[in-house]
Structure 1
Amino acid sequence: MKISRELKTAILVLSSIALLLWGYNFLKGSDLFGSTTKFYVNYDNVEGLSPGAAVTVNGLVVGKVSKITFGDSGKLLVEILMHNPIEVPKNSKAIIYAPGFIGGKQIAIDLNFTDKEIAKDGDFLVGGTEAGMLDSLSEKVEPITHKLDSVLYNVNKLVVSLNATLDPATQQNLKDAIGELNQTMANANGITKKFDNIVSSNQGKIDGIMTNFNATSKNLNTLSTDLAQADLKATIQKFDNAAKNLDKLLADIEAGNGNVGKLMKDEALYNNLNKASKELNLLLEDVKLNPNRYINISVFGKKTAPYVEPASSGE
C-alpha cells in the first residue's frame, strides 16, 4: 500500500502539533502521557513563583507548578502536578522558598510522617513560605537603610546650619585664628630649636652636673647604709637610761635626799648657810676697814683696839 504524499504531510503536521502541545504542557508542568497527581495549596502571596516551577521533596524534583489562579477570599490557588508517585501525608506542608540568588522560587514539600492519612488526587496541602537569602538580607538591610537615611538627613541639616553660621566675617575670623595658630606653632618650633642649641652647647656642663649628681647619690646611699648598719637601738637605749637616771636624780632632789636635796629642802641648813655667808661678809668688810686688827706689827707695844661690829652689817 502506497502512502500518498498528502497523507504523509498530514501525519507530519498532526505529529508536530501533538508534540508542540505536549511540550507546552510539559513546560507548564503537565504530563500528557504519564500518571500524575494534583494537589492544591492556598497562599496569601506567591511573589516570585510562576507556573512550571519545580516542586521538590528533600531537594528531589517530584513535580511542577501547573497553574496559579485566584481562589476564595482573595487567596491565590496553586495547582501542583506530581509526576513522581510518592505518598504524601495529608497534613504535609508546601513551602515556597528561593533556592538561590538567581532564578525564581520553588515549592518544597515538607512531609509530615506523623500523619498516617495519605493525600489523594485533588486534596489541599498546608501552605507556607520561607524567607530566602535575599529576603533575609533585605530585612536586615532595611533598618540600616532607615538609620543611614536619618544620619544623612542630620548631616545635611548640620551642613546647612554650618553654612548659615559661617558668614564671611566669621570665615575671616576663622582664617585669622588659624593664621595665629600657625604663627604660635612656628614660635614654639623656634623656641624648641633654641633650647636644643643651648643643650648642645652646654652638653659638657650638663654631663658634669649629672656626674656630680651621681656621686652625691652614691654618697647618700653610703651614708644611708652606714646609718642602717649603726647600732641605733643601743644608742637609743643609752639615752633612755640617761633620761631615767636624770628623772631619778630630780625625784631625789624633790624628796630631799642627798646633799643637793637637803640643801634644797632642809630650811635649817639653808638658814645656817645664809648666816655663815653674812658673817663671812662682815668679816671681810672688817678686814678692809681695820686691817691692823688682824695684821698687828707693834714696834712700840701699842695695844690693838677692841672689835666693834661694823655699822653696815644691818643688824
Structure 2
Amino acid sequence: MKIALDAMGGDFAPEAAVAGAVLAAEQLAGKATIVLIGQEDAVRPFLQQHGAAAASLEFVPASQVIDMGEHPAKAFQQKQDSSIAVGYKMLLAGEVEAFCSAGNTGAMLVGAVFTVKNVPGVMRPAIANFLPKLHGGFGILMDVGANAECKPEMLEQFGELGSLYAQYVLGIAQPKVGLLNIGEEEGKGTPVIHAAHQLLKVNPHIQFVGNIEGRDLFNDKTDVVVCDGFTGNIVLKMAESIYDIMDEKSLHEPFFDMFNYETVGGSPILGINDNAIIGHGRSTPRAISNMLMQGYNMADSGIVDQIKATFKS
C-alpha cells in the first residue's frame, strides 16, 4: 500500500511534512510506503537531513504549489503540476491508496470533486472531523466546512456517510446518529432541520436517535453528529480553542488533550471515490504523521467500497 503526502502543503512545509512522513514511515514499516509529492529543490535537502530514516520514503516531483490564499478552483485548473493536482492524479490512477495534504482546503475539495469525483448517488461530499468522547474514543462531526448551506437530503446523506465511517474505520458496531439542533424536541429548528429530521428518522441504513443539543457533543448520546458546514466549522474551531486556552494556562488532562488537532491530524473527505484527508494549515510533524496514519486506516478499512455499496443500493 502507498499513501501520498503533499510535501508543499501547510505553514511549515516542506520541513514539517518530511519530518511527519519519517515518523509515519516508522509506524507503517512493512505495511505501507509514504510517497512525498513536491518541488525537488525544496524537499530533497530535508530528506537528506533525515538520512537513513528517510530511506523508505518515495518522492514524486511537482513543479508548482497552490498557495493558501489562492482561489481554489482557478488555481487547481491553472496549476496542473502542483503537488495537490499531481496527488489527485496518482490517486485516480490507483498509484496510491490515499492522498493527504495540509495545503489549501478549497483546492483539496475541488480536486476531490473534479478528479476522483463523487460516489454515484452522493449529492455533495462532506468534511468529517472527530469529537473526543468523555468515556474514551472519538465520535464523528460532519459537515465541518465543505457545505455552508445544505438541503435536507444532504444532511440525511451526511448521517449515512458518518455512520459508515464510524462503523468501518472507528470500529463502532452500531453508530448512533444525532441531528444538531437548538432543542431535543422534534419540532425545534429551521424548516431545513425539520425536513432533515423526518428523512433521518425513516432511513433504514442508520440508527437515528433524534435531535441533540450542543451539550451532547462530547457524551455518549451519539457517535455521529450531523450539521451543515457553517455550524460544524464553528463547533470545530470552538473545540480547538478549548485545548489552546488550557495549553496557554498550562492545564493538561487526557480528555482535553484530545482536543488538540495534532491528535488525529486531519479531516477525511467523505462521499468521493477514494481516500483523501485534509490537514490543519499549521500542521506540525506529529499532526502530519497522524494524518498519514489516518489515511492508512481509511484505505485499510475499505470504507470507500462500503460507501459505494450503500449508495448503490
TM range (shorter): under 0.3
Q: Per residue, is there more helix in 1 or in 2?
A: 1
Structure whose CA Rg is larger: 1
Greater RCO structure (CA 8 Å; 6+ sep): 2
TM-score, length basis structure 2: 0.18
TM-score, length basis structure 1: 0.18
